[in-house]
Amino acid sequence: MTTAAPSPHGLDGASIDGGLYTEVTDFAHRTHWLNGPVSAFTTYGVALFGMFLLAGWWLARRRDARTMAAALIAPVAVVIAYVVNDSIKSVFQEARPCRALPHDFLIEACPPANDYAFPSNHTTVAFAAAAALFLVNRRLGAVATLTAVLMGASRVYVGAHYPHDVIVAAVVGFAVATAVALLARRFAATTVARLRVGRLHSLLTAAA
């Protein structure tokens, strides 16, 4: 199989795990019945994490101020993780696998050349939400993490990313969001406690 020449200034993702990527996309080619559901999930599944974050806030209303601080900062942690991940993209400038391996099976349309692959933004957002939610409610965090794993796998299945794009994105999302949430638990809990006895009481505390 011939491959397109990688950018001289970018990461050559195909040389890292292009073979594994091809195995996954070949599997996608053999499972046409699964293409539609996975495509829908990888496109719209990010909305599930918004629902998880909302559920985290709802559950935190019955917990202490530290837990509520983590729940409130969770969306911010996701945004920060996304910004960090996107900055990494601009440094490594890895061409999408659909450009380096143009003959492989593809479900998702090939993005523009300046939309780089490494690391995966979808996966970073998913794992950042899951990491923050672990500090709010472990069961909810576990469900979110399982969904994040499925999101990462779907990005390879549809042909949008190499496996290493997803793995590194998961690490970035989990690390950044955990750090931000831990800082919020430590330094913002006092502020949340004060707000709970003020006008925001009904939003930050469950009714007795």
Q: Is the pLDDT of residue 17 over 90?
A: no
Is residue 84 one of the residues assigned to a domain? yes
Closest residue by Cα to residue 149 from 117, 120, 115: 120
Specify the CATH number for the domain of residue 27.
1.20.144
What tokens were used for 185?
A: 């638990």
Show the domain range for 75: 14-204
Is residue 1 one of the residues assigned to a domain? no
Is residue 3 one of the residues assigned to a domain? no
The DSSP output letter for 161 is -
Predicted pLDDT at 3? 43
Is residue 121 one of the residues assigned to a domain? yes
Residue 15 pLDDT level (bands cut at 50, 70, 90): confident
What tokens were used for 3?
A: 């491959």
Q: Please report, for residues 126, 147, 153, the alpha-carbon distance to residue 48 in angstroms, rounded to integers and kept in the order given.
A: 9, 9, 16
Is residue 6 one of the residues assigned to a domain? no
Q: Is the pLDDT of residue 11 over 80?
A: no
> Which of the two residues, 53 and 8, has the higher pLDDT score?
53
- Give me the phi and psi of 11, to 5 degrees please: -70, 135
Is residue 8 one of the residues assigned to a domain? no
* 133 touches 141 (CB < 8 A): yes
Is residue 7 one of the residues assigned to a domain? no
* 44 touches 51 (CB < 8 A): no
pLDDT in tens, 25-54: 999 999 999 999 999 999 999 999 999 999
Q: Is the pLDDT of residue 140 over 90?
A: yes
Give the largest Cα separation in the chain, rounded. Answer: 67
* 135 touches 67 (CB < 8 A): yes
Is residue 30 one of the residues assigned to a domain? yes
> How many domains does the chain divide into?
1
**How far apart are the two ends of the chain, measured CA to CA in Å?**
66
Q: Is the pLDDT of residue 5 over 50?
A: no
Give the whole-angstrom CA distance, residue 135 versus residue 128.
12
> Which of the two residues, 34 and 113, has the higher pLDDT score?
34
